[in-house]
Amino acid sequence: MEKRDNTSFDLLKIASEKIQKRLKKIYAFKNAQKIGVYYPIGSEILTQDIIQELLSNSKEVFLPKVIGDKMEFRKIVDFSSLEKGSFDIMEPKDNCKTDNKLDVILIPTVGITPNGIRLGYGHGFYDRFLVENNVTTISLTLEKQVIKNIPKSEHDVIIDWIVTEDKILQTQI
């Protein structure tokens, strides 16, 4: 977290733009119709431009909403569909339609290994969701967050793709 938090906003913006371009090279993302995206907090990779581009291209965009100890994805039509929710994160409003059958999900990451073991914030929302829903996963992360070793817990779900400002990694070939 400290490594990521020490990134200036200008560098984060540049890295996010590069990641957005690389993302389009992933077949599973390019051809997806129903896409789960997170709304960034702190020093997470910025997704607002990705969300806007997807909406402009008539893709269905879903953001996570925390309900108790679970997370579900709800469809948004624009940024006015969002409000501050759990953990002060922008979430879809209650009147947004729930649909957890997505083609691909972009996942925020604190750290990740090249083979897809992801370190999140420790709440397990994404892991619990992914165990119940079969969906292609893409971690958006800074190159400096890709690290050699993270202990894998039995409930950790392996991420399919890692996109950084420098490269694209497919973890399960």
Give 55: exposed, middle or buried? Use CB within 10 Å, 0-12, 13-18, 19+.
Answer: middle
Domain 2-170 indexed as CATH 3.40.50.10420: yes
Q: How many CB atoms lie within 10 A of CB 34?
A: 18
Task: Give the model confidence (pLDDT) of 90-104 as tens digits.
Answer: 999 999 999 999 999
| For the chain, percent of residues with pLDDT exceeding 70 | 94
The residue to which tokens 């679970």 are assigned: 70
How confident is the model at residue 34, as a pLDDT?
A: 98
What are the residue ranges spanned by the domains of the chain?
2-170
Which among 25, 5, 52, 33 is positioned nearest to 162, based on CA atoms? Answer: 25
Give 139: exposed, middle or buried? Use CB within 10 Å, 0-12, 13-18, 19+.
Answer: buried
Q: Confidence band (pLDDT; 50, 70, 90) for 123?
A: confident
Task: Give the model confidence (pLDDT) of 56-81 as tens digits.
Answer: 999 999 999 998 888 999 999 999 99
The torsion angles phi and psi of 127, rounded to 5 degrees, stand at -60, -45
How confident is the model at residue 151, as a pLDDT?
A: 77
Instruction: Kindly report which listed range (49-63, 83-97, 117-131) carries the lowest average pLDDT score.
Output: 117-131
